[in-house]
Structure 1
Amino acid sequence: MSLFQNILIIVILIAGAGFLSLTEIALAGARKVKLKILAESGDERAQKVLDLQENSADFFAASQIGLNAVAILGGILGEGAFRPYFYDMVARFYHGPWTESISFALSFTLVTSLFILFADLMPKRLAMIAPEKIAVSVVNPIQVFIVVCRPLAWFINAIANMLFRLFKVNTTRDDNITFDDISAVMDAGAQAGVLQKQEHHFIENVFELEERNVPSSMTTRENVVYFTLKESESSIRQKLAEYPYSKFLVCSENIDDVIGYVDAKDILVRILNNQSLLQLNENTIRNVLTIPDTLTLSELLDRFRSTKEKFAVVINEYALVVGVITLSDIMITVMGDWVTPIEEDQQIIKRDNNSWLIEGSTPIEDMMHALAIDEMPDTDNYETLAGFMMYKLRKIPRPADAVIYGGYKFEVVDVDHFKIDQLLVTRLLEQSEVPPEEATS
């Protein structure tokens, strides 16, 4: 054959190999979610791609048969077609025993480079740009190719399946979507501008409900306002006026003797009707939902939904009340500043670009969001910033005690009766002075 005929055949082989490479990557990379959307919109080709992904063994066997056959045939034809011309070219500069070997190497390198570039690298990179669109476009011709190669593909698949069973390899594709997968998609959407920063923050918080425990969002024990059975009318009126809460615990004598709760609306109705508040009774006291402090916020939402309640008392393993939590508290955890009252004291105050004043009771997740910290050490051992300090210092912190972690310095500013009230968090600008892991003082 002439050089032109050989080049034409090699071009056809490269085009065929490129088509198979393009199809292989497109079918493997096409996302099921997008394909299902296309299928539901009436595109039958998308459903064919989904079916092909479910039974991909025949396709991959046929694809490898075609790719390897084309590559071998292209090597044989290319080497025979180009070697004489390379031989004549080399002979002009060198005459010796290596002339034949050099011409063979040059011919092999040229053909291999053409196949790598045009039949492998470029088609695969193109397929990764829009795998779903390409997969839908090529699914019909590739099904014809699979039918042609089916006898040999069946034989090859039988051997492969036997070897997989012999070595106990599970060939079932796992299509389960994890939180990490969704988080990666959200990050990509935020970077592309599809999701706004606030929307991205909301979605992350919703998924964190499964990981955050109730104590991270509850009103702590020392901040709970409650009535006792012997509470005076003037005291009840004063608490109603001083604290803008809609629900108040009712206890026998102390906070650990919980009887129920009263709705501020019921008390206000009694006041408007000029009824006495000297004694809280069964007409005003309601049964309160009691939950353990080990529940996650997601589990508490399920509990609220099943009981039709919006208020719960949180107790620990010693049956002591550690706090109260409402449905509104969970919404604040998800929505953040959008539903937090403006007049409410902020737990995190940004002083400048590199320092923050943070309350010790701040949930560790909120602190991580504010400081853009991806990971904190051993988070199973604490839930608040104060807990983190106590865990790292291994003692009851005092003012000026500090912990250095992740490029930040956490310094205790104020302590009230062993409780860490406030910390100063400073970003360390001189990264060279920060130890690779952490430091404590």
Structure 2
Amino acid sequence: MTLLQSLLVIAVLIAVSAFFALAEISLAASRRLRLRQMADEGDPRAERVLRLQEQPGPYITVVQIGLNGVAILGGVVGEGSLTPYFARFFELWFTPETSQGLGFGASFVTIIAVFLIFADLFPKRLGMSQPERLAMVLAAPMQVLITALMPVVWLFTRSTDLLFKLLGLHAQRDDRITSADILAMAEAGAQAGVLALREQQVITNVFELDTRLVSSVMTSRDRIAWFLRDDAESVLRARIVAEPFSAYPVCRDDIDHVLGYVDAKEMFQRVLSGQPLSFDAGLTLHKALVIPDRLSLTEVLEQFRQAHEDFAIVVNEYSLVVGVITLNDVMSTVMGDLVGPSDEEQQIVRRDEHSWLIDGLTPIQDVQRALDIDTLPHAEEYETLAGFLMVMLRRVPKRTDTFSWGGYCFEVLDVDSHRIDQVMVTRTPA
């Protein structure tokens, strides 16, 4: 075989090897969601690739047969055709025996380098850059090869399946998408500039609804504005002016005996139309939705949907009212600072690069996000910054109490009747 013929054979072998390498990586790297979208749009090639991903055994068998066969032939052809020429070149400086060994080594390295670059690295990087498009193009010829080599493919595939079975392994590809996968994709999208950072945070907040309890978002008991059933109109007017909310619980005797709630919009309409603010004069008392304080925010949304309500009373295991929550509270948790309060009303105020002023009732997840802390000790024992301080100090905090953890110093600035109002958090030097 002449040198030109040998080089032509090597070029053909490289092309065949590149084809199989491209087929392998494009199928493995193809995104199932993208393929499903194209299949739903009517592309039959995408449907073919999806079927191959579901049963990849025969496909991979053909790829490996092709790659290994080409590798063996390439070594034989390359060594036999290039070694004499390299040997003659080295004979200019070395003895014939030494030149023969050096020629073999140079031929081996050259063939390996050429195959590595043109038959492996380049096609695989190409396949990674456009996996779905290339997989759809290569699926048809690969299907032909699978059919042509069916006896051999069947033998190797069944042998591999038997090995999986003996080892107790799953041979099927697991394409289930978890919340962690979606969050990772959102983070990657934000880093690539496809998603804005705020949009990524909204996606993260949605998945946090399952882990955040209603008590981390509700208006706590001591901040509830409520009415007695027999309050005078002057009292009602004064309270809605002093404490404007969307709804007010209506109670008998005390806050733990809730009769229902009154909608603030209805009260405003009656005031504007000159009607009296009195439950005896037509002011509607709505039945209150009562939920336990151990529900997650996802469960709260489901309760709102089933009851067709957007306001609920939160009670503990002793049937005592511990807070109230509205649909807007939950949605504000999802949307974050896109619909958050003004700077003066925020629970977390950043004073400078290394310090924050935080309300004690701030949900601990919001504190972690603001301070960029992944985990906190005993996280299952509290839901607010005040709870974290109590767990860490092992007592009810007092004004000026301080402790350090995780590179941050926590200092209690203000306490009102055992309730922690303000906490100064300072990042300590490393």
TM-score of the superposition, structure 2-length normalised? 0.92
**Residue 9 of structure 1 corresponds to which residue in structure 2?**
9
Which residue does the alignment assign to 1:60? 60
Residue type at the aligned position of 1:243: E
Separation of aligned partners in 1, 2:353 and 2:422: 19
- Residue pairs, 1:389-428, within 5 angstroms: 389-428=389-428
1:436 aligned residue: none
2:314 is aligned with 1:314:
yes
Matched, 1:39 2:39: yes
* 1:11-30 paired onto structure 2 within 5 Å: 11-30=11-30
Instruction: Find the counterpart in structure 1 of residue 200 from structure 2.
Output: 200
| Partner of residue 303, structure 2 | 303
C-alpha separation in 2, matches of 1:7 and 1:54: 39
Q: 2:359 is matched with which residue?
A: 359
Say if 1:341 and 1:102 are closer, same or farther in 2 by CA, change over 3 A. Answer: closer
Q: Which residue of 1 aligns with 2:369?
A: 369
Change in 2 beyond 3 A, CA 1:103/1:263: same
Do 1:267 and 1:284's aligned partners in 2 also have CA atoms closer than 8 Å?
no
Residues 267 and 277 in structure 2, CA contact (< 8 A), matched pair in contact too:
no
Partner of 2:158: 158
CA deviation vs aligned residue, 1:277-304 (integer Å, no higher than 9, x gap) = 3x66997333211111111111111110
Describe the SS at the equivalent of 2:317.
coil
Q: CA deviation at 1:36?
A: 2.0
Partners in 2 of 1:311 and 1:180 — Cα distance?
31
Distance in 2 between residues matched to 1:298 and 1:361, nearest whole Å: 21
Q: Distance in 2 between matches of 1:261 and 1:11?
A: 82
Say if 1:217 and 1:363, in contact at 8 Å, map to a contact too: yes
Q: Tell me the alpha carbon deviations over residues 192-247 of structure 1, each in whole angstroms, 9 at most, x when there is no partner.
A: 22212222222222222122111111000110111223434432232122221232
- Structure 2 residue aligned with 1:332: 332
CA distance in 1, matches of 2:95, 2:343: 93
Percent of aligned positions that are identical:
46
Equivalent residues of 1:62, 1:150 under 8 A apart: no
Provide closer, same or farther for how the CA distance between residues 401 and 4 of structure 1 changes in structure 2, counting only shifts above 3 A: farther
Task: Check 1:364–1:233 CA distance in 2 against 1; reply closer, same or farther (3 A cut).
Answer: same
Cα distance in structure 1, aligned partners of 2:329 and 2:115: 62
How far is the alpha carbon of 1:325 from its aligned partner?
A: 0.3
Which position in structure 2 is the counterpart of 1:435?
A: none
Corresponding residue number in structure 2 for 1:380: 380
SS where residue 113 of structure 1 aligns?
A: helix
- The answer to whether residue 144 in structure 2 is matched with residue 144 in structure 1 is yes
Shift in Å at residue 393 of structure 1?
2.7
Asked if residue 118 in structure 1 is aligned to residue 118 in structure 2, the reply is yes
Query: Do the aligned partners of 2:262 and 2:286 also contact (CA within 8 Å) in 1?
Result: yes
Q: Does 1:49 align with 2:49?
A: yes
**Aligned equivalents of 1:261, 1:378: Cα separation in 2:** 37
Change (3 A) 1:395 1:105: farther
Please state how far the C-alpha of 1:55 moved relative to its aligned partner.
Answer: 1.9
| Rounded Cα–Cα distance in structure 1 between residues aligned with 2:402 and 2:82 | 74
- Cα distance in 2 for residues equivalent to 1:163 and 1:336: 51
1:178, CA displacement in angstroms?
1.0
Aligned-pair Cα RMSD in Å = 2.4
| Residue 185 (structure 1) aligned with residue 181 (structure 2) | no
Summarize the alignment of residues 77-116 of structure 1 with structure 2, pairs less than 5 Å apart. Answer: 77-95=77-95, 100-116=100-116
The corresponding residue for 1:434 is none
Contact 1:332 1:340 in 2 (8 A): yes
Structure 1 unaligned spans of 5+: 432-441
Q: Distance in 2 between matches of 1:245 and 1:13?
A: 76
Q: Report the CA distance shift for 1:105/1:310 in structure 2 as closer, same or farther (over 3 A).
A: same
Distance 1:94 1:237 in 2: 108
Secondary structure of the corresponding residue to residue 255 of structure 1: strand
Cα distance, 1:164 vs. partner? 1.3
1:404 offset after TM fit, Å?
3.4
